[in-house]
């Protein structure tokens, strides 16, 4: 059995406890992909000490040179794309077409990050005084603690790690326990690309022992976390005690609105992809669909027929359209929400059961599930499920559809299908979400655009695009007075 290690201060090391955890294939749970260190606070302390030491030199490396290392990492990911994708499918389940896309998102992020090494712009502005210049620069901050989820094991670690490094920070990365192999591959690639010792550190282990220590460590300057809103609130409270900079990308309960004038075939295609892509295990997954009353019956019938035709199976099988959920606990969570939906009076239109026979017997599969006649205050319409369960509700008009969409504690992604350009722009203005798609699914972020949400989806920061480089750097304002005499700003010179 393969055993994988932590990467601490430039060396691959086991946990000091000598304990290991097993990584399983969710499509064939008896297949053990490897053993990974069951680390604790001691490994975090070693990683942080190494990162803090390495920061002294790494911050002085010119940003374009840092970007060139990230460019080489992107090249290596591109060369190994298929192997990385297959390993990712084995450890978290989603189909190969999606894991290839996950790796490609990492590649795209690497190439974008490389160019940002030449674009860490500050500002030069006029001074209010003579013979004086005002400038600002973007400066590295220190050790970045990055805690990443299992559903995008390459893309999200890249979203966080690569901008952090280009900005001149050093990194301690804790990947999800369900997807440690992909994170290991990423660190191997960064090391091969030329990162100096201590600049990147990898600590495997649980959120309690490893994650909490990263968040609370006095030498970790900033935290970036993607995961549930409940855990994110706890991280924010812990990190706030020492005034760390914190970026939180949390839950979602995303809705697609289908208007009476929509291209229903196009809307159906987007809905199937948004609801059941990654087996519904995305923070941007379409878990609510709000359909105009005039087309509700027709569209719902189309949806049920298409959902029943989806092929569920091992993600390595090219015929598979929907893979397993990531583990038994996730399957049980999905089943519990199906029972909640039934008890609340929603109509189960299709699915609603675990798949446990034949080719599905060895894994954690769940039939794609659709509820109809869902009311806005039902829990299945309000709470994040993170599985292949879609709730469909009826709205009498556009205003009611928007109100139903916004009556939610989350606000990550949103979508509207309509041919009316005026209504589309009104939706862009009125939907309470960080992302809005017009005639597109709620999933499909691009790495050069800001990603994040409002309300309890996060704390206002954005991943992706230019804003993430603002999070991972600190502004320094510089005044240069060449007048040869004391000039006083903030004094009444008028």
- Per-residue pLDDT band for 328 (boundaries 50, 70, 90) equals very high
Q: Give the pLDDT confidence score for residue 490 in this predicted structure.
A: 84
Rounded to whole angstroms, how far apart are CA atoms 494 and 479?
Answer: 21
Class of domain 6-250+458-477: alpha beta
The domain limits of the chain are: 6-250+458-477, 254-438
Cβ atoms of residues 34 and 50 within 8 Å = no
The average pLDDT across 295-308 equals 98
pLDDT of 494 above 90: no
Q: Give the pLDDT confidence score for residue 491 in this predicted structure.
A: 81
- What is the maximum alpha-carbon separation in the chain? 86
- Between residues 286 and 491, which one has the greater pLDDT? 286
The average pLDDT across 196-221 equals 97
Q: Where are the alpha helices (DSSP H) in 59-95?
A: 63-79, 81-92
Cβ atoms of residues 341 and 348 within 8 Å = yes
* Cβ burial 19-55 (10 Å sphere, 16+ → b, else e): ebbebbbbbbeeeebbbbbbbbbebbebbbbbbbebb
Q: Give the pLDDT confidence score for residue 1 in this predicted structure.
A: 78
Helix (H) or strand (E) segment spanning residue 161: helix 155-166
Report the mean per-residue pLDDT for the chain: 97
The average pLDDT across 43-51 equals 98
Rounded to whole angstroms, how far apart are CA atoms 43 and 210?
Answer: 8
Whether domain 254-438 has CATH 3.40.309.10: the reply is yes
pLDDT of 94 above 80: yes
- Per-residue pLDDT band for 371 (boundaries 50, 70, 90) equals very high
The average pLDDT across 451-467 equals 97
Q: Give the pLDDT confidence score for residue 75 in this predicted structure.
A: 98
User: 95-116 pLDDT, tens per residue?
Assistant: 999 999 999 999 999 999 999 9
pLDDT of 192 above 80: yes
CB count within 10 Å of CB 291 equals 28
Q: For residue 359, give every residue at least 6 positions away whose Cβ sits within 8 Å of its Cβ, in sequence order, or none.
A: 313, 314
Percent of the chain with pLDDT over 70: 100
Rounded to whole angstroms, how far apart are CA atoms 194 and 473?
Answer: 22
DSSP-derived 3-state class of residue 247: strand
* Cβ burial 208-221 (10 Å sphere, 16+ → b, else e): ebbbbbbbbbeebb
Sign for the CA dihedral angle at 375, 380, 383, 385 comes to negative
Q: Give the pLDDT confidence score for residue 199 in this predicted structure.
A: 99
Closest CA to 103 of 83, 124, 122, 121: 83
Percent of the chain with pLDDT over 90: 99
Catalytic residue positions, numbered: 249, 283
| Fold: same for 6-250+458-477 and 254-438 | no
Q: Give the pLDDT confidence score for residue 137 in this predicted structure.
A: 97
Q: Give, as one character, the DSSP assignment of residue 341.
A: H
CB count within 10 Å of CB 423 equals 17
């Amino acid at each position: 059995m393969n055993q994988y290690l932590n990467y601490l201060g430039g060396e691959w090391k086991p946990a000091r406890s000598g304990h290991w955890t097993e990584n399983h294939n969710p499509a064939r749970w008896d297949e053990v992909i490897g053993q990974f260190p069951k680390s604790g606070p001691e490994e975090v302390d070693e990683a942080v000490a190494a990162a803090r030491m390495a920061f002294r030199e790494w911050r002085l490396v010119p940003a374009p040179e840092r970007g060139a290392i990230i460019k080489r990492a992107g090249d290596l990911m591109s060369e190994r794309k298929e192997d990385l994708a297959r390993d990712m499918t084995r450890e978290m389940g989603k189909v190969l077409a999606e894991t290839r896309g996950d790796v490609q998102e990492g590649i795209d992020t690497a190439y974008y990050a490389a160019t940002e090494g030449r674009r860490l712009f500050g500002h030069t502005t006029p001074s209010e005084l003579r013979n004086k210049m005002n400038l600002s620069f973007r400066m590295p901050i220190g050790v970045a603690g990055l805690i990443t989820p299992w559903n995008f094991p390459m893309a999200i670690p890249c979203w966080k790690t690569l901008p952090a490094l280009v900005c001149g920070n050093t990194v301690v990365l804790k990947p999800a326990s369900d997807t440690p192999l992909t994170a290991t591959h990423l660190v191997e690639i960064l090391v091969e690309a030329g990162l100096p010792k201590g600049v990147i550190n990898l600590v495997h282990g649980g959120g309690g022992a490893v994650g909490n220590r990263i968040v609370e460590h006095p030498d970790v300057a900033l935290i970036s976390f993607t995961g549930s809103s409940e855990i994110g609130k706890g991280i924010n409270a812990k990190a706030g005690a020492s005034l760390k900079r914190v970026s939180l990308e949390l839950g979602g309960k995303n809705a697609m609105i289908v208007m009476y004038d929509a291209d229903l075939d196009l809307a159906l295609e987007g809905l199937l992809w948004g609801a059941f892509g990654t087996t519904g295990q995305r923070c941007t997954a379409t878990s609510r669909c709000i359909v105009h009353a005039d087309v509700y019956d027709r569209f719902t019938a189309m949806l049920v027929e298409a959902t029943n035709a989806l092929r569920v199976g091992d993600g390595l099988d090219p015929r598979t359209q929907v893979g397993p959920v990531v583990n038994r606990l996730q399957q049980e969570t999905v089943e519990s929400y199906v029972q909640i939906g039934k008890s609340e009076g929603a109509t189960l239109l299709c699915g609603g059961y675990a798949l446990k026979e034949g080719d599905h017997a060895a894994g954690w599969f769940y039939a794609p599930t659709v509820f109809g006649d869902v009311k806005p205050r039902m829990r299945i319409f309000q709470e994040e499920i993170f599985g292949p369960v879609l709730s469909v509700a009826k709205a009498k008009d556009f205003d009611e559809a928007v109100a139903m969409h916004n009556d939610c504690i989350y606000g990550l992604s949103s979508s509207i299908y309509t041919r009316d350009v005026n209504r589309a722009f009104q939706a862009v203005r009125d939907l309470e979400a960080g992302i809005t798609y017009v005639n597109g699914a709620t999933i499909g972020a691009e790495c050069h655009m800001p990603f994040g949400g409002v309300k309890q989806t996060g704390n206002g920061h954005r991943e992706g695009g230019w804003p993430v480089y603002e999070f991972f750097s600190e502004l320094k304002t510089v005044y240069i007075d060449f007048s040869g005499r004391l000039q006083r700003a903030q004094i009444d010179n008028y």
